[in-house]
Amino acid sequence: MSDNTIINSLQNPHADEKQQIIQLFLVNVKGKAICLDDQNTKNCGKEGQWLETQMGIKHNSKNEPDIYGYEMKKSSTKTTLGDFSASEYAFSKKNKRNSINKYNNWTDDNKLGRSDFIKLFGNPNPSKNNRYSWSGRCVPTYNTWNTNGQILTINENNDIVIYYSFSHDTRSIKEEFPTFLKNDNIIIAIWKSEKMKQHIEKKI
């Protein structure tokens, strides 16, 4: 082994693994048409599963890098690291809503079920018999109030927080809300920074 090889290995201990990934991609993926004949065509991740097969990766939903310590991602303006549930929701059960209770000045007597949460903060879907869901346009984007009176921000502790404000809610349904929700800047979901740190460091 040459001195240059030794130095390169010390400077970049993952160089060999990276080169193996590149070689697998060049041989099994580059220039090849994506074949989905054996895939479930209703699966939104079918292209990703094809790529995993080509790269010799078993399909899985584990929150860890895909191959040799690296995470595979397609070119995109947005990168998804995973689908992580919040540390606490407004509908979280007794003794599981401590931070939200403290910030909102609530007690466990301020009860809110999961289905109540979805109906109050979500929207009905006309194409699915007006079934309510907390997804799509009712879910807030960063630093912008939406028509459902919700905003996503990062607080001083680096927690990801979704707030609800009665005054920013443009829907008529809000008049039916319980009294404890007819306020501004209520936390309805929070992802603690330490939880997200563990997820991301395990993934990357």
* CA–CA distance, 163 with 75 (Å, rounded to integer): 32
Model confidence at 63, in pLDDT bands (50, 70, 90)?
low
Average pLDDT, the chain: 82
For the stretch 166-189, pLDDT in tens is 999 999 999 999 999 999 999 999
Residue 131, pLDDT above cutoff 70: yes
Q: How many residues does the chain have?
A: 204
Q: Which two tokens stand for residue 2?
A: 């040459």
* CA–CA distance, 39 with 181 (Å, rounded to integer): 46
How high is the pLDDT of residue 57?
78
* Averaged pLDDT for residues 68-81: 66
What percent of the chain has pLDDT above 70? Answer: 75
Using CA atoms, how far residue 126 sits from 99, 133, 174, in Å, is: 35, 11, 19
Residue 44, pLDDT above cutoff 80: no
* Averaged pLDDT for residues 121-130: 92
Could you tell me the residue ranges of all domains in the chain? Answer: 3-80, 88-202
* Averaged pLDDT for residues 32-52: 70
Model confidence at 6, in pLDDT bands (50, 70, 90)?
very low
* Averaged pLDDT for residues 120-129: 92
Residue 4, pLDDT above cutoff 70: no
Amino acid at 127: S
